[in-house]
A and B are shown apart, each in its own frame.
Chain A
C-alpha cells in the first residue's frame, strides 16, 4: 500500500508517495538522496543510521517513513551550517576520532543531541549517549574526548 508523506530533513520538506514498509532510513537515502546516513545492520543494532527526529536520536532503520510523517529530521549533512563545520565536527577531526568514517554520521548526531541536553556532559552521560553505537576502528576514546572538549 502506498501513502503520501512529508518529512522535513535538514530544513527542507520532502514529499513522496511511499510504500508503507519503507523505513525512514530508506526514505532519507533513496527518496531524499542524502547518503550521509549509513546502513550498517538494518536491525537497530549498530547505530550507524541514527538521525534526530524532532531533536531526539532514533535508529532510522527501524522506524517507518510513515511514522516520521510531518517530523523534523536532522542528519549528518545538516550539522554544518553556512558552509562552516560545527564545533563538534571540528572536535571529532581534531581528536582523530574519525577513522573509516562509517559510524561517524550516527555518532555525530547522537553527540549533538547529547550536548543539546547536557552542555557539560559527564563521562557517564557520554557513555550512555554513545552506548550501542558501534565503531570497529575503536575510536570511542577519541570521540569521548572530542565531546568533552566542547564543555562550556
Chain B
C-alpha cells in the first residue's frame, strides 16, 4: 500500500514551541491567589500513627490549613481499595504522606510541616518480596481480606494480595523427562522513572461543588473518575486538564499525587492549591517500577526443543498495590517469553512490602519476566552446545503456534523469527572487534514479546473539527508526553483525509470537559487505539461532508466524490473550507449544516485474564522483537562500553520512522540504565530510600550512549491497527537488560542474575568475590 504521509518523517508538531521555551507545562502555569501544599511524609517504614499535633504548625505565619488522614476520605482504589490519599492509623513506607500543609508560600508550608508533631509506634518492617511472603514477617495490611476489590483479585493472605496462575499441560511431569534443565533465581530491582518534569497538580474546588485540576498526568480520565468516587463529586463536575508532559514512562499513569491534591483543595474551597514534588520526593513519594524476584526452570530435549517451563515471580509491591496488581498481569501474560512452550506452569505473586508502591514502568511487567527467560536461554544454549541464535530459532513462536496464554499467533502478530534473523546477521555477521588492552569484548541477544496489557474495554476517541481556512483541528483524549503521539495521529488523519500534513492541526492539551474519552495514555496503545479512532473520525467526517455536499449538488451522497480537500460532482467542485461557515442559496437561506467527524474505538473480543490457568484471549495484540548487544569491559575499572546496541522490532507499519526509532532507542537507553547503574538502595535500619538524588541514582547521560545504536523495523501490517500500525513506546525496555547481561557473560564469563552490573560489582566479581 502506498501512502503519502504515513511512513514519512514529519517533524514533530510541537518542536518549535518546545525549542523556544514557549511550551507551558503544569508548573509553568500561573494562578490568582495560588496557595501551596507541602507534604509531611513518614520517616518510618512501618508504624502506627498514635497522634498528630498540628497546633503549633497551624499558628505559623502564612499557614491556611493542615489536612491529615482523619480529614480525608479513603481507602480508595480501582482493583483493590488499599490506599489513603493521606495515611490513616498506619504508615507503610518511608515517604507516605502523613499531613498536608496549605500556606501562602511553599517555604511557609515547608516550615509548618516540620513543626507538626507526630507520635508513632514503630513496627518491624519488611522490604524483601520473599521475606514478606513468609508467615513470620510483619503483616502490612491487617484487614486485607476485607478490602473492596475487583473480581480478578485473588488474595492468599498474610501479605500476599494476588496470585495469578498460568497453566498449560503438566510442566512438572514433562520437566522430569527433559534432557537438559536450566534454572536460576533472577532479580529485577526497583527502578525510578526520573521524568525530568517532577509531578505537579493544581486544583480548585469551587463553591458550586465543581473541581478543576491541571496535572502532570498520562491519565486525565482516570484522575477524573477516581476523584469523583473518592470525594463524591459528580463525575461531570470534575474537569481535569493535562497540558504537555515532561516525560511519563508510566510514572504519571493511573493516579499519583492528584488524589491528595483534590482532597486538600476541597478543604480550601474557592482557592487554587498547588503541589509540586521536589526531586527527593520523586524518589520517596512517587511510584517505583519493577522489583520482582523470580525463579525459572526450563527443560529442553537433546535437540534443543523447549519442552516445559516452570516459573515463579514475586513482586515487592510496596505499601499499597492498586497499580502493582495490573503490572503482575503483564508479567503473567508475557511470562513464557516469545517461545512455544508446550507445558507451562507459572505463578505470579503480588506481596505487600514496606517500600514505595510499584506502578506502571515502561515495559509493564514484561522486562522482569524476560530477564529470567532470556538469561536461561543462553545458559541452555551453552549446555546444549548451540549458539544463542540457534537455540532461540528452534523455539520462537510463529503463525499457528499458541503462546503461553493459549492465544494462537497469526501472521499479523508479527515475525519474531525474522527479527531474530536480522539481529543474528547484524550482530554476529561481522568479526568480533579486537579488544583494547585490558579489555574483553562480548555479544549477546534476547528475543521478546509484549502485549499492551490493558482492560478489555479500554476506549479511545477522536474528534475532527473543520476550520474556515479548510484546515482541520484534531482532538483526542490521549496525552503527548514527548513520544510524538500527536504528530503520528496528525499523519494518520492527513493520510485518511487526503490532505497535506500541515492542514491538520492538533488540540495538544487534553481536557476531560471537551476532549473525547480515552482510558489512559499507557501500554503503547495510543498510536493503535487513538489511531483507529482517528480513522473512524475521518470516515465519519467524509460521510457527513458528502451528505452536506449532496444538498448543494442536488444529488445523493454516494454520487459525491472527495479528494484532496474538495468535494466534486459532475464537474463542479467545492473546497472543504466553504463548509466550515456554511453554504447558502442565492436568497441567503442556508443549505448546509455544520458537522464534526467523530470516531470511537474499542478492541473487540478481548477477555478478562483467567487467573487459574491464564488461558484466555486476554491480549488485544502482540508485538515481537529481538535485541543485540556488543560490549567491551575494562577489566581494570569494571566499566562497560556498549559498542553496538540494536533492536529489530515488528511493530507493524511505522507511521514515522524517525520518531519510532527515537522511541525504541530511548527505551533501550533507559534499560541500559537499569542494567548498569540504576537501583534503589533501601537503608537497612530505617527502610528509607538512601539514593534519592540524581547523583546517587545515576541515569544514563550523554557519555553512556552506545557507540552505535540501530533500530530495524520489520513491518508486518497489524490487522487491528490503523494502516497496519501498532505501539512502540515501551518495547525497547523489554529485552535489552538480558541481552546486555548475556553479552557481559560472553565477554567475561560473569553470570549476573540481578542488577545493576555496575563497574564496582563487575570488578569485585572479576576478582573472584561476591557482588554486593
Expressed in whole angstroms, the minimum distance between the Cβ of B28 and any Cβ of chain A is 4
Candidates B21, B23, B670; contact of A138 at CB < 8 Å: B670
CB contacts (< 8 Å) of B197 on chain A: these are 38, 40, 100, 102
CB contacts (< 8 Å) of B196 on chain A: these are 38, 40, 46, 48, 100, 102-103, 134-136
Known: A38-B196, A100-B196. A139 touches B666 (CB 8 A): yes
Chain B residue at minimum C-beta to C-beta distance from A45: B694
Q: Is the CB of B249 within 8 A of A45?
A: no
Chain A residues 64-89 with CB under 8 Å of chain B are 75-77, 79-80, 85, 89
CB contacts (< 8 Å) of A144 on chain B: these are 702
Expressed in whole angstroms, the minimum distance between the Cβ of A121 and any Cβ of chain B is 13
Expressed in whole angstroms, the minimum distance between the Cβ of B105 and any Cβ of chain A is 10
Candidates A85, A102, A131; contact of B702 at CB < 8 Å: A131
Chain A residue at minimum C-beta to C-beta distance from B483: A99
Expressed in whole angstroms, the minimum distance between the Cβ of A57 and any Cβ of chain B is 14
CB contacts (< 8 Å) of A127 on chain B: these are 702-703
Chain A residue at minimum C-beta to C-beta distance from B704: A140
Q: Is the CB of A76 within 8 A of B20?
A: yes
Known: A85-B20, A89-B20. A96 touches B28 (CB 8 A): no
Interface string of B220-262 (1 = CB under 8 A from A): 0000000000000000000000001111110000000000000
Expressed in whole angstroms, the minimum distance between the Cβ of A62 and any Cβ of chain B is 13
- Interface footprint category on B: 35 or more
Q: Is the CB of A139 within 8 A of B662?
A: yes
Q: Is the CB of B694 within 8 A of A46?
A: yes
Max chain B C-beta neighbours (<10 A), residue from A102, A137, A138, A141: A138
The complex places the Cα of A139 from the Cα of B669 at a distance, in Å, of 9
Chain A residues 111-152 with CB under 8 Å of chain B are 126-127, 130-144
The complex places the Cα of A41 from the Cα of B280 at a distance, in Å, of 8
Candidates B16, B703, B709; contact of A93 at CB < 8 Å: B16
Q: Is the CB of B24 within 8 A of A35?
A: yes
Q: Quick check: which of B7-15, B263-271, B367-375 contacts chain A, the rest being far away?
A: B7-15
Max chain B C-beta neighbours (<10 A), residue from A40, A43, A89, A102: A102
The complex places the Cα of A96 from the Cα of B8 at a distance, in Å, of 13
Expressed in whole angstroms, the minimum distance between the Cβ of A94 and any Cβ of chain B is 7
CB contacts (< 8 Å) of A131 on chain B: these are 701-703
The complex places the Cα of A4 from the Cα of B705 at a distance, in Å, of 45
Q: Is the CB of B693 within 8 A of A138?
A: no
Candidates B14, B279, B481, B705; contact of A40 at CB < 8 Å: B279
Q: Is the CB of B16 within 8 A of A85?
A: yes
The complex places the Cα of A108 from the Cα of B16 at a distance, in Å, of 12
CB contacts (< 8 Å) of A7 on chain B: these are none
Binding site for B on A (CB under 8 A): 29, 33-43, 45-46, 48, 75-77, 79-80, 85, 89-90, 92-94, 96, 98-105, 108, 126-127, 130-144
Instruction: List 19 interface pairs A-B (beta carbons < 8 Å), by A numbering.
Output: A29-B28, A33-B30, A38-B25, A43-B695, A45-B694, A77-B22, A85-B20, A92-B15, A99-B483, A100-B196, A101-B18, A101-B19, A104-B19, A108-B19, A132-B701, A134-B694, A136-B247, A139-B666, A140-B669
Closest 10 CB pairs of A and B: A36-B21, A100-B482, A102-B246, A101-B18, A138-B666, A76-B21, A35-B28, A138-B669, A93-B15, A45-B694
Binding site for A on B (CB under 8 A): 9, 11-12, 14-25, 27-28, 30, 193-198, 244-249, 278-279, 481-484, 658-659, 662, 665-670, 693-695, 699-703, 705, 709
